[in-house]
Chain A
Amino acid sequence: DIQMTQSPSSLSASVGDRVTITCRASQSIGSWLAWYQQKPGKAPKLLVHRASILESGVPSRFSGSGSETEFTLTISSLQTEDFATYYCQHYNNKFTFGPGTRVEIK
């Protein structure tokens, strides 16, 4: 089975900071990678699918890149509303999730 890892597991950042979260797959998954944002008590919100396709309505400060086994989610200038937990997901038929990265206010 494919395993997904994320780093860091948590980070503290300030408004305006550039933030990068890395997701690694245990074997090649092509571009079958999605990123989600989740806030407490809410369902996960899709930000990026197919590794780099930004979901409609998601601010352009979010971007996804990578392929095969290494992927990144970048927030170019962190805003207050971006403090949340972020998950990567391999989703070609069966799903596999990364453990999540919690982005906190410094």
Chain B
Amino acid sequence: QVHLVESGGGVVQPGRSLRLSCVGSAFTFSNYGFNWVRQAPGKGLEWVTFISSDGSNKEYADSVKGRFSISRDNSNNTLYLQIKTLRTEDTAVYYCARASFRPYWGQGTLVTVSS
């Protein structure tokens, strides 16, 4: 059964950096593109970024361009989201999700940006 597990969230001060991870299992990780999606408290689902299966194509939402960086390590079945210069408005649950015929999501990791 496809499984995605995010980690790396927590309480972080504004201006600091954070790296989120997402480990996939029970499928061939390198065959799929992935997305990060976030949801701020009481808000809707917001697409953040996408990476293609081989990592050659990356796209970002305008709201995070320049501060967020997506990457992947296919040898370790791991997806990353590097976040720089965190802002209070980055407070959200961050989900990784597989782009495929049927989308699969992790359960999310909470990032709280607060001093």
Residues of A within 8 A of B (CB): 34, 36, 38, 43-44, 46, 49-50, 53, 87, 89, 91-97, 99-100
Contacts and interface: CB of A to CB of B under 8 A. Distances in A.
A33 to B, nearest CB: 11
A91 B99 contact: yes
Given A49-B101, A93-B33, 7 more contacts: A34-B103, A43-B107, A46-B103, A91-B99, A92-B99, A95-B35, A97-B47
Interface residues of B, number: 20
- 9 smallest CB-CB distances across A and B, nearest first, come from A94-B50, A95-B47, A97-B45, A49-B102, A100-B44, A93-B99, A95-B35, A91-B103, A93-B33
Nearest to A96: B47
B74 interface: no
Contacts of A100: 44-45
Contacts of B45: 36, 38, 44, 87, 89, 97, 100
Contacts of A50: 101-102
9 contacts: A43-B108, A46-B103, A46-B105, A49-B102, A91-B103, A93-B33, A93-B50, A93-B99, A95-B35
B101 to A, nearest CB: 7
Q: Which of A43, A53, A92 has the most chain B CB atoms closer than 10 A to its own CB?
A: A43
A49 B103 contact: yes
Secondary structure class of chain B's binding surface, majority of residues: strand
Contacts of A95: 35, 37, 47, 50, 97, 99, 103
Q: Which of A36, A53, A91, A95 has the most chain B CB atoms closer than 10 A to its own CB?
A: A95
B52 interface: yes
Nearest to B95: A43
Q: Which of B95, B102, B107 has the most chain A CB atoms closer than 10 A to its own CB?
A: B102
Given A44-B105, A93-B52, A87 B99 contact: no
